[in-house]
């Protein structure tokens, strides 16, 4: 049912109907600054940034069947490099972002070299351990990383200092990146990842180099996580070991699961739901983490396919359902 | 009642309600509350200290009937979760959504530094009675970040190093949590002690939340030093003091602590094993100063525990802000005047029982107490001053400009003078 009801004419890989949906969503999100307060706008910015992180994890998890607990570290490395390059080494923000994304991709490549031949729980544990190494380095290499205190600086260029300008910039970046990710998972190469998820042995016997494909998939996923990490560094003007910690990876994974594994755009839904929940609930009770935990349990019981998955079950086919590949 | 009559009377009623509402709204605007945003770790590794921070602030606000300079005070409390990213998000919420006139609080240096970096952009006054990072009042000052009733990490260990020399100690080893707060406290002691002819034999740095200190204690026992300086906070401090005693070091080698190692938040749960530890601090809950005694008595009656550093600092910090607001007639909206007033205010009537003022760099000048943990009549332990260094500057006896030219204390720079 992968292409049920597709229209003959496609623009940039989108059917007419999904193009309308995409444009509507974009117009609505672009208009948000006109109605939201500054604080709400910052939350929206954060949702977009973490949405990209969740999507990058979904590339591996939902499409290649490998859930990574090391993406928080990749995300954080980019943040560290961006803040260090601009605040300490005096690079321009653009150069700093570029360096940050390169560094994140490099870290992802190292992770990938070590992890691609494993799967299941071993992949999970290996990426977790690699992430912990990065965290340990950030914590102990005080001269460069500032240790526990982290790094600070005015990373954001002046023309992005305003809440609205920054939101629009992040929205634009997010749109481009999301489109790129969407094209990536739908490309012939992306389809081989799906094949690996569904049956590694079949892909092998068909002559595909499974580890190489996973390696490229991991590196690409790390590249996108690096972009979101760089945006987060611009957003906070600050980075500390908690940005690369295991909690960050877990949060990214939870966002992806809450949105729906393998839905890609579920990342945004999950990020929005979790960030909104964190901020609303914590205003009422200091037990907000308990509430968050209970919410996850409820999602897992009643919507195991995530929020997008649950919506799909309710909504008629054609709209949301087309994003999902399943045989 | 016919329809016309109804319209007339209801219109009149609405109009009356409307005119009533207008002056009411205006009256409200005049007495609009002063909004104070309190950031504190209510969850995470230092949650217990965070709760005492809230108590300290509330204890003061209750004592003044939630009024400062004749204006009502509205306290907005947010949990920073002991995490700088969360602290930053909550600070944004308090400033941008809560419209707070000022922020106060945070416990861990990394949370405080993250918020300080944020308010540098917004200009919101931010008060840090607990955040001790040296450079916030030294090399990297931010005008609107003020250390009311707080202290810089190395300020008390400088005189402590001097005190050690006076005891005739020749060799000291330090053991400390491996993060900036620890590096700075150890650095203060090491610099003064070695410049006075002492020797720092070895320094141990261990990660936060170390469960087992035996590898360190074994080595410490072999070093044959005159005293051991332990820079520990929270659960690490509790464990270290317990294991120090059970390793048989207590009674053999004198144990010196950073002020937080023998703070009430730590020794409250300890017994015999914490007896006789020496530490340097501005506040000693066992002081016989009547002001201190009154504060401790009332705090104990209210919260059923002896106040810790956290309760005391937040209480005195918010008191400082209140006294500054008093001077400018409660006009908290005029930020420059407000910040200026806080910097110039000399804190009177605090539990220290002595006037405190800020130096030219925004750090308070205190009489530093060398205090010892002793058993109180009811069997609880507390810190009693044994001697005091009056009017100690954060730069000790160094010239501020020269002092700030040396690098900040870190694991690699401890100010140790080569013999």
Please list, in sequence order, all residues whose beta carbon lies within 8 angstroms of the beta carbon of residue A53, skipping any fewer than 6 positions away.
Answer: A71, A75, A225, A228, A229, A252, A255, A267, A271
Task: Give, in order, the Cα–Cα distances in Å from B382 to each of A145, A149, A293, B209.
Answer: 38, 31, 40, 24
Lookup: tokens for B322? 């209140």
Cα A12 to chain centroid distance, Å, stands at: 23
Average pLDDT per block of 10 residues along chain B, 419 residues long: 58 49 45 92 85 95 93 93 90 92 93 92 94 91 93 94 95 92 94 94 90 93 94 91 93 93 92 93 94 95 94 95 94 94 94 92 93 93 94 92 92 86
Shortest Cα–Cα distance, A152 to chain B (Å): 7
Q: Which of A39, A237, A288 sits opposite B97 (nearest CB)?
A: A39
B78 and A143: CB-CB below 8 Å?
no
Distance in angstroms (rounded) separating the CA atoms of residues A56 and A181: 8
- Write b or e for each residue in B76-91: b if 16 or more Cβ atoms lie within 10 A of its Cβ, otherwise e: bbbbbbbbbbbbbbbb
Note whether B89 contacts A279, CB cutoff 8 Å.
yes
Tokens of A283: 């205003």
Q: Which residue has the tokens 């996108």?
A: A224
Within 8 A of B110 by CB-CB distance, chain A residues are: 148-150, 240, 242
CB distance B109–A147 less than 8 Å? no
Give the residue on A whose Cα is nearest the Cα of B114. A238
Report how far residue B175's alpha carbon sits from residue B171's, in angstroms, rounded to the nearest whole number.
14
Question: Which residues of chain A does B83 touch, with a Cβ-Cβ cutoff of 8 Å?
Answer: 242, 247
Q: Which of A132, A139, A149, A231 to mutate to test the interface with B (most CBs of B within 10 A)?
A: A149
**DSSP assignment of B330-379:** T-TT-HHHHHHHHHH--B-S-TTSS-BEE-TTS-EEEEEEEEEEEE-TTS
Q: Is B92 on the interface with A (CB under 8 A)?
A: yes
To the nearest whole Å, the CA of B321 is away from the closest chain A CA by 25
Q: Closest partner residue to B43 among A143, A150, A289, by Cβ?
A: A289
* pTM score: 0.84
User: What's the DSSP call for residue B202?
Assistant: E
- A326 pLDDT more than 50: no
Cα B332 from chain centre: 23
Residue A143 and residue B179: Cβ atoms within 8 Å? no
With vertex at residue A63, the alpha carbon angle to CA A57 and CA A64, rounded to the nearest 5 degrees, is 85
Q: In the prediction, which pLDDT does A3 show?
A: 45
The pLDDT value recorded for residue A325 is: 46
In DSSP terms, B368 is beta-bridged to B389
Question: CA geometry: angle at B126 spanning B293 and B345, to 5°?
Answer: 55
Q: What is the mean pLDDT of chain A?
A: 88
- Helix and strand totals (H; E) in chain A: 16, 4
What value does the mean pLDDT take over residues A296-320?
78
Domains and CATH numbers, chain A: 12-317 (1.10.3470)
| pLDDT of res. B26 | 43
For A156, half-sphere exposure in the C-beta direction (CA atoms, 13 angstrom radius) is 22
Confidence of residue A193 (pLDDT cuts 50, 70, 90): very high
Which residue of A lies nearest to B41 if distances are taken between CA atoms? A286
Residue A17: its pLDDT value, please? 82
| DSSP structure class, residue A63 | I
- Asked if B284 and B301 count as a contact pair (C-beta separation under 8 A), the reply is no
| Half-sphere exposure (Cβ direction) of B349: Cα atoms closer than 13 Å | 8
pLDDT computed for residue B364 by the predictor: 94
B167 touches chain A (CB under 8 A): no
* Residues on chain B touching A139 (C-beta within 8 angstroms): 207
Q: Cβ–Cβ contacts within 10 Å for residue B9, how many?
A: 11
Q: Which of B77, B89, B107, B153 to mutate to test the interface with A (most CBs of A within 10 A)?
A: B89
In this predicted model, what pLDDT tens digit does every residue of A86-99 receive, in sequence order? Answer: 988 889 999 999 99
The owner of tokens 């949650």 is B47
Shortest distance between the Cα of A60 and any Cα of chain B, in A, equals 26
- Chain A residue numbers touching B118 (CB-CB < 8 A): 237-238
Residue ranges of E strands in A34-141: none
Interface of A with B in 211-230 (CB under 8 A): none
Helix (H) or strand (E) holding A23: helix A16-35
Nearest-CA distance from B20 to chain A in Å?
31
The CA-to-CA distance between both ends of chain B, in Å, stands at 103
Rounded CA-CA distance B261/B277 in Å is 9
- The confidence score (pLDDT) of residue A320 equals 47
A236 contact residues in B (CB cutoff 8 A): 85, 88, 114
Q: What is the DSSP letter of A16?
A: H
* DSSP, residue by residue, A253-267: HHHHHHH-TT-STHH
Which residue, A288, A17, A258, A246, is CA-closest to A132?
Answer: A246
Cβ atoms of residues B131 and B313 within 8 Å: no
How much is the pLDDT for B235? 87
A142, A148, A154 member nearest B110 (Cβ): A148
Torsion sign across C-alpha atoms B221, B222, B224, B225: negative
pLDDT at A7: 44
**Run of H or E residues at A82:** helix A71-83
Read off the tokens for A277.
């929940």
pLDDT at position A8 is 53
Q: Scan for tokens 């804190």, then name that residue.
A: B347
Higher pLDDT, A281 or B168: B168
Any residues with CB less than 8 A from the CB of B263 and at least 6 apart, and which? B237, B308, B309, B310
Give the Cα separation of B237 and B241 in Å (integer): 6
pLDDT band for A60, please (50, 70, 90 cuts): very high
Nearest to A242 among B85, B93, B412 (CB): B85
Chain B residues inside the 8 Å CB shell of A152: 113-114, 117
Cβ B291 vs Cβ B353: under 8 Å: yes
Spatial distance between the Cα atoms of B299 and B59, rounded to a whole number of angstroms: 8
Contact B216, B244 (CB under 8 A): no
| Residue B234: per-residue pLDDT | 85
Q: In chain A, helix, strand, coil percent, each to 5?
A: 75, 0, 20
**Backbone phi and psi for residue B204, each to the nearest 5 degrees, phi listed first:** -105, 130
Spell B107-137 as b/e; 16+ CB within 10 A means b. Answer: bbbbbbbbbbbbbbeeebbbbbbbbbbbbbb
Decide if B96 and A42 are in contact by the 8 Å CB cutoff. yes
């Amino acid at each position: 049912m992968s292409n049920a009801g597709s229209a003959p004419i496609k623009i940039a890989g989108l059917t007419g109907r999904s193009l309308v949906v995409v444009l509507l969503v974009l117009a609505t999100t672009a208009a948000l600054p006109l109605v939201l307060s500054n604080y709400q706008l910052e939350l929206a910015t954060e949702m977009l940034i973490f949405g990209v992180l969740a999507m990058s994890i979904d590339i591996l998890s939902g499409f290649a069947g490998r859930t990574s607990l090391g993406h928080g570290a990749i995300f954080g490395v980019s943040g560290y490099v961006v803040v260090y390059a601009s605040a300490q080494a005096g690079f321009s923000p653009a150069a700093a972002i570029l360096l940050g994304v390169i560094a994140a991709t490099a870290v992802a490549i190292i992770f990938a070299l070590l992890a691609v031949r494993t799967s299941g729980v071993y992949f999970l544990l290996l990426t977790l351990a690699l992430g912990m190494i990065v965290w340990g380095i950030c914590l102990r290499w005080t001269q460069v990383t500032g240790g526990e205190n982290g790094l600070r600086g005015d990373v954001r260029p002046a023309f992005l200092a305003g809440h609205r300008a920054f939101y629009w910039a992040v929205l634009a970046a997010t749109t481009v990146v999301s489109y790129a990710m969407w094209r990536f998972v739908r490309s012939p190469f992306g389809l081989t990842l799906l094949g690996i998820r569904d049956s590694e042995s079949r892909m092998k016997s068909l002559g595909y180099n499974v580890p190489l494909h996973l390696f490229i998939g991991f590196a690409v996923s790390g590249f996108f996580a690096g972009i979101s990490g760089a945006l987060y560094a611009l957003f906070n003007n600050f980075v500390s070991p908690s940005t690369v910690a295991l909690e960050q990876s877990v949060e990214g994974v939870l966002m992806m699961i809450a949105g729906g594994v393998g839905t890609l755009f579920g990342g945004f839904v999950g990020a929005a739901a979790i960030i909104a929940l964190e901020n609303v609930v914590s205003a009422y009770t200091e037990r907000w983490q308990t509430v968050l935990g209970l919410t996850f349990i409820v999602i897992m019981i009643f919507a195991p396919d995530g929020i997008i998955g649950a919506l799909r079950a309710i909504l008629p086919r054609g709209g949301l359902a087309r994003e999902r590949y399943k045989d | 009642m016919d329809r016309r009559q109804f319209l007339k009377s209801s219109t009149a009623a609405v109009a009356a309600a409307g005119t009533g509402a207008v002056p009411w709204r205006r009256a409200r605007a005049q007495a609009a509350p002063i909004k104070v945003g309190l950031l504190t770790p209510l969850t995470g590794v230092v949650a217990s200290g965070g709760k005492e921070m809230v108590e300290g602030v509330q204890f003061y606000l209750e004592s003044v009937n939630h009024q400062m300079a004749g204006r009502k005070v509205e306290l907005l409390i947010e949990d920073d979760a002991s995490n700088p990213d969360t602290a930053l998000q909550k600070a944004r919420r308090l400033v941008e959504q809560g419209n707070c006139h000022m922020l106060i609080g945070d416990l861990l240096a990394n949370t405080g530094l993250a918020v300080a970096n944020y308010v540098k952009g917004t200009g919101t006054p931010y008060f840090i009675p607990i955040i001790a990072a040296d450079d916030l009042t030294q090399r990297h000052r931010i005008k609107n970040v003020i250390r009311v009733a707080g202290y810089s990490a190395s300020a008390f260990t400088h005189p402590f190093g001097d005190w050690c020399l006076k005891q005739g100690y020749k060799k000291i080893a330090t053991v400390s949590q491996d993060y900036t707060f620890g590096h700075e406290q150890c650095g203060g002691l090491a610099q003064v002690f070695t410049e006075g002819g002492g020797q720092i034999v070895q320094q141990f740095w261990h990660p936060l939340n170390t469960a087992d200190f035996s590898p360190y204690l074994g080595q410490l026992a072999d070093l044959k030093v005159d005293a051991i300086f332990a820079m520990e906070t929270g659960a690490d401090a509790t464990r270290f003091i317990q294991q120090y005693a059970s390793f048989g070091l207590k009674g053999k080698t004198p144990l010196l602590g950073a002020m937080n190692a023998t703070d009430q938040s730590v020794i409250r749960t300890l017994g015999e094993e914490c007896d006789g530890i020496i530490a340097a601090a501005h506040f000693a809950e066992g002081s016989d100063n009547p002001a201190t005694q009154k504060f401790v008595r009332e705090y104990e009656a209210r919260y059923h525990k002896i106040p810790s550093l956290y309760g005391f600092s937040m209480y005195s910090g918010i008191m400082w802000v209140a006294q500054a607001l008093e001077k400018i007639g409660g006009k908290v909206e005029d930020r420059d005047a407000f910040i200026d007033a806080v910097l110039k205010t000399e804190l009177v009537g605090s539990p220290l029982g002595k006037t405190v003022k800020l130096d030219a760099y925004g750090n308070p000048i205190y009489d530093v107490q060398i205090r010892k943990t002793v058993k109180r009549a009811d069997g609880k332990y507390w810190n009693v001053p044994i001697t005091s260094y009056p009017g100690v500057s954060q730069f000790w006896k160094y010239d501020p400009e020269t002092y700030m030219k040396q690098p900040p204390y870190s694991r690699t720079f401890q100010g140790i003078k080569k013999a």
